[in-house]
Amino acid sequence: MNLERDNHSDDQLKQIYKLRNIAVVGMSTSPDKPGHFVPQYLLKLGYNVIPVNPNAAEILGRRSFHRVSEITDQVDIVNVFRKSDDVYPVIQDAIEKKDVQIIWLQEGIHNEKAERLAQAKGIDVLFNRCMMAEHMRLFK
């Protein structure tokens, strides 16, 4: 699998961090997993983090949804903690939401077919990047 990064500049990343509503697909109830501590970090910074995990009713005190398309609030960014092979249906579902601007695939995750699908619908895609690590690098 190709694990290069997308080619977004630091200035582009800083603009993306101005978006405040983040659906986290694969958000975890386990504090030791990145799918838990990365969104927790974003919550502490004041982002509106919306868990997407069909196996949990609530994570970090926030209602968890089964799918992105079920979220009634605005979603600017879909942050994905799923295996690369599982990304395509996540993107298909996120497209149904209509207000998604960014798909952010965490470190180690990339699916070119899903990336092309999102881009064809006008959604920008970042891949093989950690949302917490990039924020710390750019803003700390």
Please indicate, yes or no, if residue 65 is contained in any of the structural domains: yes
Mean pLDDT of 7-28: 97
Please indicate, yes or no, if residue 77 is contained in any of the structural domains: yes
The strand ranges marked E within the chain are 21-25, 48-52, 58-59, 62-63, 77-80, 102-105, 124-126
Number of domains, the chain: 1
pTM of the model as a whole: 0.96
Please indicate, yes or no, if residue 4 is contained in any of the structural domains: no
Please indicate, yes or no, if residue 32 is contained in any of the structural domains: yes
pLDDT in tens, 104-140: 999 999 999 999 999 999 999 999 999 999 999 999 8
* Mean model confidence pLDDT for the chain: 96
**CATH number of the domain encompassing residue 73:** 3.40.50.720
In the predicted model, is pLDDT for residue 2 greater than 60? no
Please indicate, yes or no, if residue 45 is contained in any of the structural domains: yes
Tokens representing residue 129 in the block: 């990047």
Instruction: Check if the beta carbon of residue 22 is closer than 8 Å to that of residue 76.
Output: yes
For residue 24, CA distances in Å to 39, 119, 131, 136 come to 7, 19, 11, 18
Mean pLDDT of 23-27: 98
Please indicate, yes or no, if residue 23 is contained in any of the structural domains: yes
How many CA atoms, within 13 angstroms, populate the side-chain half-sphere of residue 71? Answer: 32
pLDDT in tens, 83-104: 999 999 999 999 999 999 999 9
Percent of the chain past pLDDT 70, that is, above it, reads 98
Residue for token pair 């089964």: 66
pLDDT in tens, 71-84: 999 999 999 999 99
In the predicted model, is pLDDT for residue 1 greater than 80? no
Range of the domain at 131: 10-139
